[in-house]
Each structure stands twice: as C-alpha cells, then as structure tokens.
Structure 1
Amino acid sequence: MLKKIVFCLLMASSSIVQSQVLINEFDADTPSTNDKQFIELKSETPNFSLNGYVLVFFNGTGSLADTSYFTVSLNGLTTDVNGLILIGNNLVAPVPERIFSIGSIQNGPDGVGLYLGSTADFPAGTIATTTNLIDALVHSNNATAVPSLQTLLGESTQENENINSLGTTQSIQRKIDGTWEVKAPTPGANNDGSGFIFNGITITANTANKNEGDSFSITFTTQTNVTSDLLFSFTLTNGSFNTNDFTGNTTVFIPIGANSFATTITLVDDIVDEGDEVLRIKFGDLPFGYNRRNDNLEIRVVDNDFSTLPFGTPLNPTYGNVTSTVPVGYYASIEGLSGTALKQGLQDIIANPAAVRAHTYGDVTDILRVADQNPLNSNQVWMMYVESPRAKLDFQTSSSNVGTWNREHIYPQSRGGFVNATEDTPDGINVWSSSNADDLAAGHADAHHIRAEDGPENSSRSNKDYGLTGYNGPSGTQGSWKGDVARAVFYMAIRYNGLDVVNGDIPDTTVGQLGDLTTLLSWNQSDPRDDFEMNRNNYIYTWQMNRNPFIDYPLLADYIWGANVGQAWFASLSTNENQTAKYVIYPNPARDSFIVSGLNSEAAIELYNGLGMKVFEQKVTGQAPISPNVSSGIYLAKITSDSKTEVKKLVIE
C-alpha cells in the first residue's frame, strides 16, 4: 500500500514540518439513494490544517476512464482531536465539515486521490497522476478491476465495498497496519473504536409544511446525559426568512445530568406577500466534546398572503379578460399576403434584428415566474402538462427533479439543435443581445416555447413528437395545454430558419423537424387561445420585444399549413380576438349539463370533438340547461344566435 509523507512549507521559509494525512474511510455506495456518501481523512497529529489539499475523484471505466470527474477543496478545514475530518452528504451523521450534493461520488469501479494542490489543478477530464499525490484509493462495489487507474495512482490493490455481499450497508476502512477492511460505517470516529468519543446532539422537529401563524416544537437531544451544563444557540434564518418571521427562544440549555431541551417557535402571520419561504434549523457553535448528528433541517413556510389575477387557469379558462398589448400596426405588413410570402412576412416581424432581443436561459426562469404564474395564487407557477400549480420556490436546482418544476422546451433542445446554447446565469431584462432568423442558439432561451413543468413529467415528455405515437400528456388530464403547445411549435417553425413542423411521427433523433402537424392543427382548434396564454404573450413581449402571432391570431396557422393555404390573409377574416366574449358556458368543466349565458334569443348549440366531428346539436332559448349525453373529453361548442357565431371550449367530465 502506497503511503506518502506530506511536507508543508511554512512562512515560505526553508524549514519544514513533517506530518501525515491519509484516507481513513470511504463509503460511495449507500442505502437507497446514495444520500449518505462520505470520505473520511485522518492526520497523524490532531487539529491538522488541510489548507492546500484537494480531493480528486476519477472514473475507472468507459470513454472517460482514468480521468477526473469531481473535486473537493479542503481549504479552511482542520482535523479534530482524533485527527479526523469528514466530507460527505448532509445526511451523514455526524454532519460532515464539508458538504457535497447527493450522488456526487460514483460507486465504482473508480478512484479517489488526496493531493497537494487546488481544484483548478484538476479540471474535469484530467488524467490521474501521482504528481503531488498524498494518498489514493481505488474502489468498487463489485469485482470489476481497473488496473490502468491503479497504475496511474500508484496503487497495487483495489477495494470492493461489497466484498461481504452485504450490499450498501458497509464502508471501506483503513486498519492500523495500513491495509483495508470492509465493515459497518464508523464516520467521525476511529475505525477501531479508540480515541475521544464525542457526545452527539440530534435536532428533532416536524418538518411538514407550516402556515404563517403556526407553532411547532424543536427538541435537541444528546446521545448521553451531559456531565456539565450545556449552553449553545441555533438559528432559523435562511434567505428571505429572518428573525422578523418568527418568535421563540433560540438558546438551548441542557442542565447537568439531563439529555434534552425543547422550545416552541411561532411563525409570524403578517400581511406581507413574501411568497413561500424555507426556514433552516441550524446549530450555532458547539462546546468542545459535542458534535452534530444532523443539521440544516428545512421547513417550508407557506405564505397565506397572495394575490390573484383577473382570469382563469388553463384548466378553467376565461376569454376576453386580458387584452392584447400588440402595438398598432405590428402585423400591418402581412395584410393581403399568402403562401411563402405570408410566412416570410411573419418571420420578418418576429425575427426582426432591429427589434428582437435574445436573453439567457437563466433569464427564462425569472420570466416564467411571472408569465406562468398561477392566476389563483401569486406564489405559484402553473405547470402545463400536469395541469396543476407548484410553489415558485420549488424550482429544480439539483439533480433530483422530484417535487420540483423546471423549464420545458416545447420544441425540444435536441430536436432544435440548441442544446445548452445560452448561459444559465440570469442577466436581467436590460441585458440582451440582438437576434435574427438565423440565430438558432436563441431558441434555447426563447420563452415563447418554454413553459413551467413538473420535473418528472418533463423527463417523461423527453424529445418526442406530439400526437400519433408521440407525446399526448399524462393520463387523466384534460389536455388544457394542447393548443398552447401547437401555437408555440408554429411560432418556432416561423421564427427560426432551420426549424419546421411536419406531418407524421418522425424519429425522435431528427434535428430541425417536429411532428405531427395534423395533430397540432387540430389542437389549435380544439383548445382555443385563452386569457392565460394572451397574458403570457403580453409579458414575454416586454422582454423579447416580439410576439407569438399564433396567439394573437390563431387562424393564421390555417393560412400557412391548414385549410386556407394559398389564400390571402387579412386580420378582418379572423374573429376579433380582443373583444370580450358575448356568451359564457358554465359550469365548465361540466358533468351532466351546462348553461349558456348571454343569449337574448333562440340559439343553436353544436358540439364538435377533437377530430372535428359534430357529436351533438340542440336549439336552446334563455338559460335552459343543456344535457349533451356525450363521453368525457374536450369539445368545441359552436353557439349561433342572431346570425352571429362564437366558439367556446367545453370540458365534459
């Protein structure tokens, strides 16, 4: 086993102090979701500074074999009275002195090296080396050997964490003689049980969501009774959550001979709309002899102060409450055009380099927090495919997407050819670059085709076409998003050269084409543009200085791809999309019957299904209930009265 002596230069002088620090314990393969991974180092002398050291993790197999994939700087860390230091996930007990995110360490076969140096010395893809290497471990959870990595790290052995066939419940530990063994993990303690034994303290609290005004208790418990009075403090502040948001004692006192302390915290119910916040229960400094068994417990504080918008969600849409902010004359140049001239005329408007602004992918997150806000609660976004809200606070920031929302590209990144083409750092509305029809990279952060979406559902949608054998949404949902998707795809096909929408279900690897056009044209009709969508169009315009014309005039799609191809376009041919609807259907969704309000004379009611087939027709006067006796689904209700016709979306449950 390779062992090396560390020589630390002091004060830039020629004198040197000799000391040793080695990898003492390693656990890469832990139960469940690998959320208790750690690496423990041990110095020959206690309280040893690790300034100038870095941990480097290396791949053992695959195309990136023998190269680095993750680094951890050890600057600012010092070993404890036993010479130990723990680096790992937040759920490791005791809590590591440096935290890395869940799943950062691969299970193997891989390797890890302790080096003199910095993270800058080991960018991702750096070949393993013995230069400045202090100690190394080549590891796995099976018998697969990686002799090349062993050679590069100067190691003659490889340790199997699962050699005892006990799965993920054991760790690799160094013995007194320098060899390794595999047994139950002992993080934060000498592997042989010797040395100083810390008295661990555990925080216990109900971490379920709390509302403003709620009270909850926090208990601190030591592993053994304290031998002298124990006094320390803790904090709850985190981000915007501060001391004005709660009342209660944050000083812990455990008297001699006892082992626990409890306090009650009350959340202040103010009248300020701060949005949902997260408080974090965190230890202050502990006296010598104690350590943290857990820390940073988070509790969501749901703000009961929120505002609403004067229009409905896509699931219960309203029409005519939101007026288009399209500038006068914005579409004047396409009047009377048809065919390719109409397409080019539209592109000249929405990809005009003298007007259109391109932002970053980071900016899109901020845009969606407003554009996709749940009309019923200003602290939430509306997730498109799953047709439900989620707290704005729950934006995905780690590798886990469960319970989060993220940014869904309606025209998938891989299909559009703009994968990760812009930065994930927001610059704000006043920082932008000009854009044109050939600027395909701008499609990566074009908010007109990016929506807030449930993380797992976003992954499920992947890069599929829409309709046919492609993506049709989660089962049990009402498809309130389908027209929105169609109009976003139409926008992208006009806005960017190299992108198109085509008939049929094409391979998911096809770049520059997305299907199915026939399905999307149908969705454009069956799910009419509502107030939620118009509000999005208005807001995105304030950032990008362009609009989605298929939201302003949904019938344009038929003049470019549908039944009216070749005919001259005039805005007057389209229903005046900006007037308040005359008729209202309620309830909507409906079950056995519905009523049409606003009728002053006899009217004809016709229902059409998603295929355009008429499935119901009836004459009605006044607000008489209408019982269509049709199956559950989304229909277009055509209402004709006094020689005027309006079309409404109707959901039958």
Structure 2
Amino acid sequence: MKKHYLLTLLLCSAVGLAQIPAGYYNTATGTGLTLKTNLRKIIDNVTDGIPSEHLHVDQGYGALWTLYTRSAFRDNYYENDGSLLDLYSENPSGADPYNYTTTSQQCGSYSGEGDCYNREHLIPQSYFDGFAIDPMKNDPFFVVPSDGKVNGDRNNLPFGKVGTATYTSQNGSKRGNGLNSGYALGYSGVVFEPIDEFKGDVARAFFYFATRYEINLANFYTSANASTCQAKNMFDGSTGRAFTNPFLDILVKWHTDDPVSAKEIAINNDIYYNHQSNRNPYIDHPEYVGLVWNSFLSNPSFAFENSISIYPNPAVNNEVTISSEIELKSIVLYNINGQIIQEIKNPTRVDNSYKVINLPSGFYLVQMASENAVATKKVIVN
C-alpha cells in the first residue's frame, strides 16, 4: 500500500539526481533530433569520440535474473517487503494479489497469474529479432521483470489507452480496443494498458529505446519478424521521430502524468553502476522528452506542458525556478485544499525562466498558463 509515497518520491528524486556522474550530460546539447542523437552518443556501445560517453556493456540475457534480485528491483516503496516489484502484480493502494519473493519463482511454465515471473520486453523481442538479438534482448532499461501470465496476455500488443477492456489483470492492467479519442485519438486496434502508477515507467523505456537504438530503428522496422509484431504500430520506421501518432501523444501524456519515481531512479543508478554502465537520460532529465519530441506532437497542450520544468524540487531556500520555452501569462500556487497561496500575473521572464520566491513550507500544485494552454505540476517546499 502506498504511504506518504509522493513526498518520499520527490525527496528521493533529489538525492538520486545527485548520483548522475559529473559531466555525464555535458555533450547533450541542442534540441529536437540533434539532442536525441547527442544523447545516443553518450549511452550507446560505440566509441563516438566525445568526452562524456559511457559505453553500454552488454551483460547477456542470463544476467537479468541476477539483476532482478538486487534491491533496486524490489518493493522498497509500497508494502516495503522486499518482494519483486512487478508492474502487473503491484497494487499501489492496497494488498498485492500475489508476490514473488524467491528466484525459484522464475518462469518456466505457467497457467495463471502468480505462477512465475519472467523477463518482459516492453518493446517486444519480435519487433527486432529478425534484424539482430543483442544487446536489445538483454537491455534492462526495457526488459523488465513481470508476471509470466500477464506478459503472455499482453503478448506483442502496443501499449495504449483501452476503451472497453476484454481482459483485466489482478492489479488492473487491461487489454482491449484502443479508446480512439482524447489524447489516444487515432488508433482503435487492440492495445494493452498498464495501471497509472507505471505508465510513465513504460513511456520512458520507449523513449530510451528510441534513443539508444536510434541508428537501428529503420532496420528494426523492416526486419524479418517485425511485420507480425503488433507493437510495430507504435513506430514510424524513422530513425528520428521514431513513433507514430497517436502513440507519441500517448507516451508523452503518460510521461507527463506519471513523473519519475524513486524506483526508477534507483534502477537507473543500479544499472549504470553495477550492470551495463549506461543510463536512461529521460529518468535523469525528464525535460529531455519535451526538448526532443514536442515539435512532433499532434496535441499542442502536450507540447506546452512538456516544455515546462520546475527546479529544484523540493525547493531550496523557499524558491523555485520555472523554465518555459513558451511565455507564461500567470503562475498560481495552490495548496492541497485548493486554496490559492500565491498568484503572479504577467510574471517577469529572464532567459525563458521565472523565479517564484518566498514560498511557505508545504506540498503544492503550480498552475501555469500561456496564451492558449494551461499546465499543472507538483512542487514540495521543505
């Protein structure tokens, strides 16, 4: 059960960010596809001749079983019982329907939920294995521990927003036809939808994949087996933009609505320091998602929300900086009871940034409005 999780998440985020190696993102310059390529050069397994690259060292498929036994992949956030943190069995608001506690529960065969856990490729292996297997098959940034039965029920479906569910797992993950409205407008085929708690995790795994394997994306799209992989509908075959609409809008929406968690930060650090020596840039710097993909979004409100970042968070010395590529017309601070604590109309903008000072201690929602859109983000002031 989730207890005081948001506060813990944000405090741990501040600590986790401090563990990014010095200079790791020094060459992450530019915006759009230029930034995406510069990030790829830092995290791939090719010597690109840049001072900040940290080569991805493939550890093989079997090593994932050992990695999943480490603390970063265990439940230290909900029940805090050290069981495997599985996105298909975790219930953030109550008792889990089942738990995996020992390596003897690795799949194997299964007939129902709770029988065993396996290594799920969030980007299905069938999408790329007609082109090559390694290192994609073995990359824990998108190959995650999950219940074998639910993984099988998801099969190689794209992730998306389900309209009417034809299948629901014990923790609420769903399969059914795509909603085909709102931010998911444009796709009515069958999709799989994880619970809200893990949607951002899934989105950032896809953004990592599109960046780390940038130069291979076109080959994956035309590989021998990709045509039978339903998740192919999420990709456009390009090495740049990578995703089709509405799936780009869906992923950005999930990334925005489900911010980086303490779990993701712990896993990011563990994979870097103890496993394969590279990082997921979109966990370290969530704002990179907007800087890379905003110009490709079909929904302009997503672009606005994703162009804004608030830092430091938690606030330092009772002040924060709001960075926005789009001019803000107002900044309003609300407490958890919905009361306005501070309102700034036509705030002063310096180098695309706004200072908000003299903030009282507490947890707040910050509403920022431009000429045509509104975005809301969370902030803690200690």
- State the TM-score, normalized to the length of structure 2: 0.58
Shift of 1:623: 8.1
Using CA pairs under 8 Å that are at least 6 residues apart, name the structure with larger relative contact order, 1 or 2: 2
Confirm whether residue 559 of structure 1 aligns to residue 271 of structure 2.
Answer: no
User: What residue in structure 1 maps to residue 127 of structure 2?
Assistant: 415
Query: Secondary structure of the equivalent of 1:340?
Result: helix
Q: How does 1:138-537 map to 2 (within 5 A)?
A: 318-321=9-12, 322-324=15-17, 325-335=19-29, 337-354=30-47, 355-370=55-70, 371-375=72-76, 376-377=79-80, 379-388=82-91, 390-393=99-102, 395-400=105-110, 402=112, 403=114, 404-417=116-129, 421=133, 441-468=134-161, 474=169, 476=172, 478-496=195-213, 497-499=215-217, 508=230, 510=232, 513=235, 516-537=247-268
Would the alpha carbon gap of residues 363 and 555 (structure 1) be closer, same or farther in structure 2, given more than 3 Å must change? same
Q: 1:394-433 CA deviation, whole Å, 9 max, x = no partner?
A: 5324212642222221111111327994xxxxxxxxxxxx
Would the alpha carbon gap of residues 338 and 595 (structure 1) be closer, same or farther in structure 2, given more than 3 Å must change? closer
> For the residues of structure 1 that align with 2:361 and 2:65, how far apart are their CA atoms?
47
Would the alpha carbon gap of residues 461 and 342 (structure 1) be closer, same or farther in structure 2, given more than 3 Å must change? same
Structure 2 unaligned regions, length at least 5:
48-54, 174-194, 222-227, 236-242, 298-306, 320-333, 344-359, 369-374
Query: Secondary structure of the equivalent of 2:145?
Result: strand
> For the residues of structure 2 that align with 1:455 and 1:315, how far apart are their CA atoms?
29
Report which stretch shifted further, 395-404 or 542-551. 395-404
Greater strand fraction, Structure 1 or Structure 2: 1
Query: Secondary structure of the equivalent of 1:361?
Result: coil
Would the alpha carbon gap of residues 458 and 471 (structure 1) be closer, same or farther in structure 2, given more than 3 Å must change? farther
Equivalent residues of 1:346, 1:494 under 8 A apart = yes
Shift of 1:648: 3.1
Would the alpha carbon gap of residues 600 and 522 (structure 1) be closer, same or farther in structure 2, given more than 3 Å must change? closer
> For the residues of structure 1 that align with 2:260 and 2:217, how far apart are their CA atoms?
23
> For the residues of structure 2 that align with 1:577 and 1:471, how far apart are their CA atoms?
40
> For the residues of structure 1 that align with 2:46 and 2:313, how far apart are their CA atoms?
28
Would the alpha carbon gap of residues 533 and 377 (structure 1) be closer, same or farther in structure 2, given more than 3 Å must change? same
> For the residues of structure 2 that align with 1:328 and 1:535, how far apart are their CA atoms?
17
Query: Secondary structure of the equivalent of 2:216?
Result: coil
> For the residues of structure 2 that align with 1:344 and 1:409, how far apart are their CA atoms?
23
Shift of 1:579: 4.7
Shift of 1:340: 2.8
Equivalent residues of 1:342, 1:560 under 8 A apart = yes
> For the residues of structure 2 that align with 1:312 and 1:536, how far apart are their CA atoms?
21
Identity, in percent, stands at: 28
Would the alpha carbon gap of residues 469 and 340 (structure 1) be closer, same or farther in structure 2, given more than 3 Å must change? same
Greater helix fraction, Structure 1 or Structure 2: 2
Equivalent residues of 1:385, 1:457 under 8 A apart = yes
Q: 1:351-403 CA deviation, whole Å, 9 max, x = no partner?
A: 04352211111111221222321004453111113324623315324212642
User: What residue in structure 2 maps to residue 575 of structure 1?
Assistant: 310
Would the alpha carbon gap of residues 512 and 524 (structure 1) be closer, same or farther in structure 2, given more than 3 Å must change? closer
Confirm whether residue 596 of structure 1 aligns to residue 332 of structure 2.
Answer: no
User: What residue in structure 2 maps to residue 131 of structure 1?
Assistant: none
> For the residues of structure 1 that align with 2:34 and 2:341, how far apart are their CA atoms?
43
> For the residues of structure 2 that align with 1:419 and 1:470, how far apart are their CA atoms?
33
Aligned partner of 2:286: which letter? Answer: P
Confirm whether residue 638 of structure 1 aligns to residue 343 of structure 2.
Answer: no
**Which among 343, 368, 377 is matched to residue 647 of structure 1?**
377
Q: 1:493-539 CA deviation, whole Å, 9 max, x = no partner?
A: 1101323799xxx9617499366211001101011111111111111
Would the alpha carbon gap of residues 485 and 411 (structure 1) be closer, same or farther in structure 2, given more than 3 Å must change? same
Provide the aligned C-alpha RMSD in A: 4.3
Q: What is the total number of aligned residue pairs between the two structures?
A: 268
User: What residue in structure 2 maps to residue 633 of structure 1?
Assistant: none
Confirm whether residue 550 of structure 1 aligns to residue 241 of structure 2.
Answer: no
> For the residues of structure 2 that align with 1:326 and 1:340, how far apart are their CA atoms?
23
Equivalent residues of 1:449, 1:489 under 8 A apart = yes
Would the alpha carbon gap of residues 511 and 467 (structure 1) be closer, same or farther in structure 2, given more than 3 Å must change? closer
Query: Secondary structure of the equivalent of 1:452?
Result: strand
Q: 1:600-651 CA deviation, whole Å, 9 max, x = no partner?
A: 98147xxxxxxxxxxxxxxxx9989xxxxxxxxxxxx83359xxx97239xx
> For the residues of structure 1 that align with 2:230 and 2:4, how far apart are their CA atoms?
31
> For the residues of structure 2 that align with 1:481 and 1:455, how far apart are their CA atoms?
17
Structure 1 unaligned regions, length at least 5:
1-310, 422-440, 566-571, 584-593, 605-620, 625-636
> For the residues of structure 1 that align with 2:313 and 2:36, how far apart are their CA atoms?
23
**Structure number, greater radius of gyration:** 1
Q: 1:410-467 CA deviation, whole Å, 9 max, x = no partner?
A: 111111327994xxxxxxxxxxxxxxxxxxx101110111222122111111111111
> For the residues of structure 1 that align with 2:129 and 2:378, how far apart are their CA atoms?
37
Aligned partner of 2:65: which letter? Answer: T
Equivalent residues of 2:158, 2:231 under 8 A apart = no
> For the residues of structure 2 that align with 1:564 and 1:534, how far apart are their CA atoms?
27
- State the TM-score, normalized to the length of structure 1: 0.36
